[in-house]
Amino acid sequence: MVIIMLGAPGTGKGTIARILSENLKIPAVSTGDIFRKNIKEETELGKLASSYMSKGQLVPDDVTVDIIRNRLDEKDVQNGIILDGFPRTVKQAEALDELLAERNKKVDMAINLVTPEEEIVERVSNRIVCSNQECKTTYNLKLNPPKQEGICDICGSKLIKRRDDNEETVRARIKNYFIQTSPLVEYYEKQGTLCTEEVSEAINRLAKDVAEDILGRINK
C-alpha cells in the first residue's frame, strides 16, 4: 500500500504517519529523512542535493525524483510506504505515478489534513521533538507533554525545540504550502484517492482519532 500525507505544517502528519506505520507494518518516510541519509552517506545524489541546500536553494525536481526512485527500490518498502513531504507539486506527483507504475504499484490513498491556521500556530509553537534521529517522536507541551519534562518517553533522549517552530516562520510556511502544494489536493481528488480529514481541538478530533478512523477504513 502506498499512502501520501498532505497538509500544512502542524496538522499532525507525522503523528498519523507513525500510527499508520506501526499498524500497517510499512515504513513512514519523510523527504527530509531521505535527503539527510543521502547527504550523510555522501552518495552522488546526496552531494548534488547538498550543493543546492547549502545555498538555501530548492532541490530541483529531477534530483528529488531520483532520490525517491532509489528509496522505492529498497527492500523495506516493497510491501508499502507512507510518504511525507513528497510529492510537493503536481509535477512531482506525476513523476511519482510513473515511478510506481514501473513497479506495478500506485498511490492507494492521499490523506489531506486540514486544521484552522490559529490552531496550527499554537500547536507548532508548543511542539518539541526527540533529538534522537532514530526516534524523532513529537510532543506538544499542551496536548501531549512527555511524562518527564525534557525527556523522550520512548528512548530517553533529550527533547528539543526546532529553531523554525515560531509564529512568524509557521505563518510563512503555511502560506507557501497553500501556494505550492494545495493543487495536489485537486490532483488526487480527480484520481479518486483523496481522503480529507479535519484535525482540530475545536471539534475534539486529534491526530490519533483521525489515524484510527483511517485504519478502520483500510481494514474493512
pLDDT for residue 110: 97
Neighbours of 102 (CB within 10 A): 10
pLDDT for residue 10: 84
pLDDT for residue 143: 80
Report the alpha-carbon distance of residue 43 to residue 199 in Å, rounded. 38
Alpha carbon dihedral 24, 26, 27, 29, in 10-degree steps, equals: -80
pLDDT for residue 114: 94
pLDDT for residue 56: 66
**Is 103 annotated in the active site?**
no
pLDDT for residue 185: 93
Q: What is the mean pLDDT of each run of 10 residues along the chain (220 residues)?
A: 92 91 94 82 85 75 88 94 92 95 96 93 89 87 90 95 83 84 91 95 91 91
pLDDT for residue 30: 86
Residue 75 carries which DSSP code? G
Report the alpha-carbon distance of residue 63 to residue 68 in Å, rounded. 9
Instruction: Name which of 197, 165, 164, 181 is nearest 11 in CA terms.
Output: 197
**Is 217 annotated in the active site?**
no
**Is 13 annotated in the active site?**
yes
**Is 127 annotated in the active site?**
yes
Report the alpha-carbon distance of residue 216 to residue 218 in Å, rounded. 6
From 105, 173, 205, 208, the catalytic residue: 173
Q: Kindly indicate whether the domain formed by 2-116+168-218 is annotated with CATH number 3.30.540.10.
A: no
From 18, 71, 88, 123, the catalytic residue: 88
From 91, 162, 175, 217, the catalytic residue: 162
